Amino acid sequence: MSEWTKKGPLEWQEYTYKEVRVTACEKEFRGWVLTTDPVSANIVLVNFLDDGSLSVTGIMGQTVQSVETLGEGDWRTRERLTHLFSSGHCEGYSLEDLEERKNSLKKWLEKNHIPVSELGDSPRTLCVAGVLTIDPPYSPENCSSANEIILSRVQELIQGQLPASQSEARN
């Protein structure tokens, strides 16, 4: 049994978004850890290629002999990994556009005395009053909450805050 398989899900999760070197079956793999499976200890590595494409490698947990951390990802790397397999709702927005939209909405909410913070695990997700989240690209349909009343009110506020050009572009 390797050191990797002796670890538990919380320890495996600590490798997420880090650049690693994995030795498995006498081969070496390098890449960014996208996720680890909490049951099988499988690792999914992503490499961003020079031509703009990417390669994804799955490594079976039982074959892992060692995992060495090579580096920490900056917020851009983390953001790219986080949204790799999302539905594309941010398509057409650059990272700079998303950052600007997030900061604008956050400032507007704070100006209107609405408590807002950024979630630690996903730096671009806004959390309103601890009960509602707003994901990129920060439009009303990107809000989610179990509290329907708060959800509809915040969605209405965001709709009213959007400049007319953004509002029309979405419809």
Q: What integer pLDDT is reported at residue 51 of this predicted model?
A: 84
Q: How confident is the model at residue 167 (pLDDT cuts 50, 70, 90)?
A: very low
Q: How confident is the model at residue 47 (pLDDT cuts 50, 70, 90)?
A: very high
Q: What integer pLDDT is reported at residue 129 of this predicted model?
A: 87
Whole-number Å distance between alpha carbons of 82 and 87: 12
pLDDT at 165 over 70: no
Give the chain's largest Cα–Cα span: 60
Domain residue limits, the chain? 3-80, 89-170
The pair of three-digit structure tokens given for residue 164, joined into one six-digit string: 């007319």
Average confidence (pLDDT) over 13-42: 93
Q: Which fold has domain 3-80?
A: SH3 type barrels. (2.30.30)
Q: Which of 11, 138, 115, 80 is nearest to 2 (CA)?
A: 11
Residue 167, classified by CB atoms within 10 Å of its CB into exposed (0-12), middle (13-18) or buried (19+), is middle
Q: What integer pLDDT is reported at residue 125 of this predicted model?
A: 84
Average pLDDT, the chain: 83
Q: What integer pLDDT is reported at residue 168 of this predicted model?
A: 42
Q: How confident is the model at residue 162 (pLDDT cuts 50, 70, 90)?
A: low
Contact between 136 and 98 under an 8 Å Cβ cutoff? The reply is: yes
| Residue 27 CA: distances (Å) to CA of 22, 35, 62, 143, 144 | 8, 20, 14, 44, 43
The pair of three-digit structure tokens given for residue 132, joined into one six-digit string: 């509602």
CA 85 to chain CA mean position, Å:
10
Q: What integer pLDDT is reported at residue 89 of this predicted model?
A: 55
